[in-house]
């Protein structure tokens, strides 16, 4: 009598075939049997699944089409393994650096965080500690993640496809140039960074607090990670200041807080361009246009309320004084 295989009905037949083919070609799963396939929520770029093989659960990722154009897959393989070795990322079973397909151990009995969980001081404190451990890691990543260069690359890819950005981007581009001038004068520190620490990339199984999905990982200014999480989890001012105090071990200085503002701006500009690039590459406009527009508008608010200019000036003055 054959054991029944449970497959979530919403998964297309073609995708099921890709999963079976992928698993069959991984030596680790030689002579193994798939018991169940379920869709994992989240994942804007890739398709993620919980796959039970020989009654052990795994997280399987099918990389999105075209992602090889803007994601350094060999670097991700190395960087993600560094974090797995530190116990920050989930254990990696298999990684194909030519496609970005990946299998990790599924973290059983864990919860995936959302913005509301980050309202709790316990999670703010744990996230600050995980990011601090990541940034202080002794082993460097083999790639850089420079938001300014990433923005330039996305603009170039859009130009190659003759695809326009949101109306009124001239001022935004001007401010990016001012930040470039600041960084040329006062280079920010470069440490191992995740660069996309949105809430759904955090898992809590009550034993460990994991940060997963290291696609965009690279050497970067640690302030970018702090700014990104503050944006994605929609911290209140009080929560943000508590989070920064947990990270720095003291109240953030005016220069440090200014660096957070600058990196909030860069973060939103970056992902606004990324969103339009997804559309230019043929993905549904309704899935990305509003997401990118929200980013675009939030970045512009930092220009209009004067906080970006103030932060640039503070970092310029503090660095030469």
Distance between CA atoms of residues 76 and 71, nearest Å = 8
Strand order in the sheet with 202-204: 111-112, 202-204, 209-211
Q: Does the residue 1 lie in any domain?
A: no
Q: Does the residue 166 lie in any domain?
A: yes
Q: How many domains does the chain have?
A: 2
Q: Does the residue 199 lie in any domain?
A: yes
Same domain, 80 and 133: no
Amino acid 68: pLDDT: 81
DSSP-assigned letter for residue 4 = P
Same domain, 160 and 86: no
Domain that holds residue 33: 6-105
Q: Does the residue 289 lie in any domain?
A: yes
Q: Which residue among 63, 79, 105 closes a domain?
A: 105
Same domain, 222 and 185: yes
Same domain, 63 and 162: no
What CATH number should be reported for the domain holding residue 79?
A: 3.30.200.20
Contacts of 175 (CB under 8 A, 6+ apart): 265, 303, 308
Q: What is the pLDDT along the chain (321 residues), one digit of tens a residue?
A: 567 899 999 999 999 999 999 999 999 999 999 999 999 987 777 999 999 999 999 999 999 888 887 789 999 999 999 999 999 999 999 999 999 999 999 999 999 999 899 989 999 999 999 999 999 998 999 999 999 999 999 999 999 998 888 888 899 999 999 999 999 999 999 999 999 999 999 999 999 999 999 999 999 999 999 999 999 999 999 999 999 999 999 999 999 999 999 999 999 999 999 999 999 988 899 999 999 999 999 999 999 999 999 999 999 886 655
Same domain, 86 and 123: no
Same domain, 100 and 176: no
- β-strand 6-7 against 34-39: which pairing, if any? parallel
Same domain, 121 and 236: yes
Determine contact, residues 7/37, Cβ cutoff 8 Å: yes
Q: Which residue among 73, 105, 137 closes a domain?
A: 105
Backbone angles phi, psi at 179, to 5 degrees: -65, -40
Strand partners for 144: 219
Same domain, 137 and 95: no
Determine contact, residues 220/190, Cβ cutoff 8 Å: yes
pTM across the whole model: 0.92
Q: Which residue among 82, 105, 128 closes a domain?
A: 105
Q: Which two tokens stand for residue 224?
A: 């970018």
């Amino acid at each position: 009598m054959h054991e029944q295989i449970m497959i979530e009905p919403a998964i297309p037949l073609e995708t099921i075939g890709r999963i079976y083919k992928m698993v069959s070609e991984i030596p680790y799963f030689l002579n193994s049997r798939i018991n169940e396939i379920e869709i994992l929520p989240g994942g804007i770029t890739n398709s993620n699944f919980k796959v039970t093989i020989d009654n052990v659960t795994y997280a399987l990722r099918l990389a999105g089409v075209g992602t090889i154009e803007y994601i350094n897959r060999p670097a991700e393989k190395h960087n993600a393994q560094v974090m797995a070795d530190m116990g920050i990322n989930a254990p990696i079973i298999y990684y194909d650096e030519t496609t970005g397909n990946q299998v990790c151990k599924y973290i059983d009995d864990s919860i995936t965080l959302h913005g509301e969980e980050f309202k709790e001081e316990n999670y703010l404190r744990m996230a600050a500690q995980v990011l601090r451990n990541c940034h202080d890691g002794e082993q460097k990543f083999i790639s850089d993640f420079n938001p300014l260069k990433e923005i330039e690359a996305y603009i170039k890819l859009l130009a190659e496809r003759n695809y326009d950005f949101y109306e009124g981007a001239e001022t935004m581009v001007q401010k990016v140039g001012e930040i470039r001038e600041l960084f040329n004068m006062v280079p920010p520190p470069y440490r191992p960074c995740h660069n996309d620490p949105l809430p759904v990339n955090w898992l809590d199984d009550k034993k460990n607090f994991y940060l997963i999905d290291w696609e965009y990982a690279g050497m970067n200014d640690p302030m970018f990670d702090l700014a990104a999480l503050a944006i994605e989890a929609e911290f209140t001012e009080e929560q943000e200041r508590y989070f920064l105090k947990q990270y720095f071990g003291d109240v953030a200085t005016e220069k440090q807080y200014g660096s957070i503002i600058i990196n909030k701006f860069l973060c939103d500009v970056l992902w606004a361009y990324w969103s339009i690039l997804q559309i230019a590459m043929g993905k549904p406009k309704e899935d990305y246009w509003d997401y990118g527009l929200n980013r675009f508008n939030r970045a512009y608010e930092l220009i209009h309320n004067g906080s970006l200019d103030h932060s640039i000036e503070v970092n310029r003055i503090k660095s030469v004084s």
